[in-house]
């Protein structure tokens, strides 16, 4: 049995960003590996199954070109990892590839745990894996090869005689530490980039998954925090540097610094093994301190993405992340003093938010003066508490409707429950970006720090996207 994974382009963000920023995110300026696929591929290789990954997004392939590669490879199944927000776009690819190749389609990913029945309502999708895919996927592939009855495979859904069938759930008992590192040898590593990248090739890594904190808007499923040991993480860093020549690693852990002793150990190991690599993390401002910042900087950390979200204490309380503004101020100050680049994330349009609250946030952002900011419109996502409340209040499960094909319904989501219409929120978002980025002092500082023509071009594109 051989199998192919396809990573279709991203086309998800218009509801969340401004149109121009969305275009930039879905263009060649922001392309990152699909870790879910790369992990599963590594697991299949270990199980003796031949695998190919076609990263159609990174390689800028059309559906036709991708289908041609699938035909040539002639796999027993074509697999996709689905996230809710990109579902309809992925679906158009699934349909296009199925039409051209006729190969069985297997899908997995968080979308399958949230809306399995809705996803399976599309006849082009043959099998869905619900929850962990590690053991389920090889078993399902073998069952397909043997033309066995899929009802024997736990953790899947499929159709029989037009009826939706779901097998018994499979308990997820494997952690990232129990499986091989991502199969980067199957990825076009030289194609990955972001607007802030300074050295290529780059990659993504996960040192931990999930988050035990409970911010009200957060859609990270509750109760799934798992952290890899420092030794395991640093072994993968070494593989990235020594085998793949990676020069920059973007850790995508939800909050990298949750467990400080683990982080200090990771830093120690990077230094003691002499690994030269730039890295960045995401963190909450209340989970950093001087010592940890110094240790991370000493081990190559170049950037922290801080979730700051609001400059209004009442809004922060409503978001269930009651972090005192002074703690945020101090975290950003320390980080800048250590020479680490700061990126602040902000949300506007949270339920109950007013124009004055947004003004507070803009003022706070200007005061913090991070190197970069990202301003997102509040778009409730499943399975967050804010989304659950919305569904209870309105009786409409918006993302379910979207999954069933009603893309237009998402236009109602930005800022829902706040005092802003979606169009007004767009204007606030643009105003926020412009007020921040078009300050002469800010522009001057940025230009002084530019390292290369490629970086200048990236920043120019980013600046133009917020006009």
Nearest CB to ligand B12, comparing residues 109 and 415:
109
**Does residue 107 belong to the site contacting ligand B12 (CB under 6 A)?**
yes
Nearest CB to ligand SF4, comparing residues 183 and 308:
308
Binders in 77-106 for ligand B12, by CB under 6 A: 79, 81, 83-86, 106
CB-based contact 338:376 (threshold 8 Å): no
**Does residue 335 belong to the site contacting ligand B12 (CB under 6 A)?**
no
Nearest CB to ligand B12, comparing residues 53 and 308:
53
- Residues forming a β-bridge with 342: 304
Nearest CB to ligand B12, comparing residues 235 and 369:
235
Work out which of 130, 211, 241, 288 binds ligand SF4, going by CB under 6 A: 211
Each residue 266-285 as x (binds ligand B12 by CB under 6 A) or -, in order, gives: --------------------
Nearest CB to ligand B12, comparing residues 128 and 417:
128
Work out which of 106, 156, 215, 295 binds ligand SF4, going by CB under 6 A: 215
Using alpha carbons, select from 140, 206, 216 the residue that is nearest to residue 385. Answer: 216
What 3 state SS string does the chain have?
CEEEEECCCCCCHHHCCCHHHHHHHCCCCCECCCHHHHHHHHHHHHCCCEEEEECHHHHCCCHHHHHHHHHHHCCCEEEEECCHHHHHHHHHHHHHHHHHHCCCEEEECHHHHHCHHHHCCCCCCCEEECCCCCCHHHHHHHHHHCCCCHHHCCCEEEEECCEEEECCCCCCCCCHHHCCCCCHHHCCHHHCECCCCCCCCEEEECCEECCCCCCCCCCCCCCCCEECCHHHHHHHHHHHHHHHCCCEEEECCCCCCCCHHHHHHHHHHHHHCCCCCEEEEEECHHHCCHHHHHHHHHCCEEEEEEEEECCCHHHHHHCCCCCCHHHHHHHHHHHHHCCCEEEEEEEECCCCCCHHHHHHHHHHHHHHCCCEEEEEECCCCCCCHHHHHHHHHHCCCHHHHHHCCCHHHHHHCCCCCCCCCHHHHHHHHHHHHHHHHCCHHHHHHHHHHCCCHHHHHHHHHHHHHCC
**Does residue 214 belong to the site contacting ligand SF4 (CB under 6 A)?**
yes
**Does residue 213 belong to the site contacting ligand SF4 (CB under 6 A)?**
yes
Nearest CB to ligand SF4, comparing residues 196 and 211:
211
Judged by beta carbon distances under 5 to 8 A according to partner kind, the member of ligand SF4, ligand B12, none in contact with residue 132 is ligand B12
Each residue 295-334 as x (binds ligand SF4 by CB under 6 A) or -, in order, gives: ------------x-------------x-------------
Work out which of 1, 45, 166, 209 binds ligand B12, going by CB under 6 A: 209
Nearest CB to ligand SF4, comparing residues 98 and 321:
321
**Does residue 465 belong to the site contacting ligand B12 (CB under 6 A)?**
no
Binders in 10-29 for ligand B12, by CB under 6 A: 10, 12-13, 16
Nearest CB to ligand B12, comparing residues 12 and 263:
12
Q: Calculate Rg over the CA atoms of the chain.
A: 22
**Does residue 155 belong to the site contacting ligand B12 (CB under 6 A)?**
no
Judged by beta carbon distances under 5 to 8 A according to partner kind, the member of ligand B12, ligand SF4, none in contact with residue 110 is ligand B12
Judged by beta carbon distances under 5 to 8 A according to partner kind, the member of ligand B12, ligand SF4, none in contact with residue 255 is ligand SF4
CB of 148 to ligand B12, least distance (A): 17
CB of 9 to ligand B12, least distance (A): 8
Q: Which residue has the tokens 């859904």?
A: 157
- What does the binding site for ligand B12 look like in residue numbers (CB under 6 A)? 10, 12-13, 16, 32, 34-36, 39-40, 79, 81, 83-86, 106-111, 114, 129, 132-134, 137, 204, 206, 209-210, 219-220, 252, 382
Please give the residue ranges that form the binding site for ligand SF4 (CB under 6 A): 211, 213-215, 218, 220, 254-255, 284, 307, 321
């Amino acid at each position: 049995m051989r199998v192919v994974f396809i990573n279709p382009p991203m086309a998800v963000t218009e509801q969340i960003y401004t149109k121009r920023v969305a275009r930039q995110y879905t263009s060649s300026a922001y392309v990152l590996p699909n870790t879910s696929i790369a992990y599963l591929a590594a697991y299949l290789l270990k199980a003796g199954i031949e695998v190919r990954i076609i990263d159609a997004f990174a390689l800028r392939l059309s559906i036709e070109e991708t289908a041609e590669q699938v035909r040539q490879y002639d796999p027993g199944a074509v697999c996709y990892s689905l996230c809710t927000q990109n579902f309809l776009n992925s679906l158009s690819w699934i349909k296009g590839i199925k039409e051209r190749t006729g190969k069985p389609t297997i899908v997995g990913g968080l979308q399958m745990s949230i809306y399995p029945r809705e996803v399976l309502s599309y006849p082009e999708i043959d099998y869905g894996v619900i929850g962990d895919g590690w053991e389920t996927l090889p078993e399902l592939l073998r069952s397909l090869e043997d033309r066995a009855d899929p009802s024997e495979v736990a953790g899947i859904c499929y159709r029989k005689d037009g009826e939706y069938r779901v097998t018994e759930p499979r308990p997820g008992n494997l952690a990232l530490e129990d499986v091989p590192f991502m199969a980067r040898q199957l990825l076009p590593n030289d194609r990955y980039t972001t607007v802030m990248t300074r050295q290529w090739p780059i990659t993504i890594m996960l040192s931990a998954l999930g988050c035990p904190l409970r911010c009200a808007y957060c859609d990270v499923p509750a109760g799934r925090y798992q952290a890899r040991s420092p030794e395991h993480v640093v072994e993968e860093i070494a593989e990235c540097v020594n085998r793949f020549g990676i020069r920059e690693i973007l850790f995508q852990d939800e909050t990298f610094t949750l467990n400080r002793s683990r982080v200090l150990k990771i830093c120690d190991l990077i230094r003691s093994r002499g690994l030269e690599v730039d890295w960045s993390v995401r963190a909450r401002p209340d989970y950093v301190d001087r010592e940890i910042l110094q240790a991370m900087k000493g081990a190559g950390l170049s950037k922290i993405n801080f979730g700051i979200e609001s400059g209004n204490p009442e809004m922060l309380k409503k978001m269930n992340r009651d972090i005192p503004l002074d703690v945020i101020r101090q975290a950003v100050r320390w980080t800048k003093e250590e020479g680490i680049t700061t990126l602040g994330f902000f949300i506007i349009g949270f339920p109950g938010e007013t124009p004055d609250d947004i003004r507070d946030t803009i003022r706070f952002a200007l005061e913090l003066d991070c190197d970069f900011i990202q301003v997102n419109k509040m778009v409730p996502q499943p399975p967050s508490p804010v989304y659950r409340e919305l569904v209870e209040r309105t009786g409409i499960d918006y993302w379910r409707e979207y999954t069933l094909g009603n893309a237009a319904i998402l236009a109602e989501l930005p800022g829902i429950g706040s005092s802003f219409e979606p169009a007004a929120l767009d204007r606030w978002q643009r105003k926020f970006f412009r007020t921040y980025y078009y300050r002469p002092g800010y522009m001057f500082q940025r230009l002084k720090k530019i390292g290369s023509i490629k970086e200048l071009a990236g920043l120019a594109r980013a600046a133009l996207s917020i006009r």
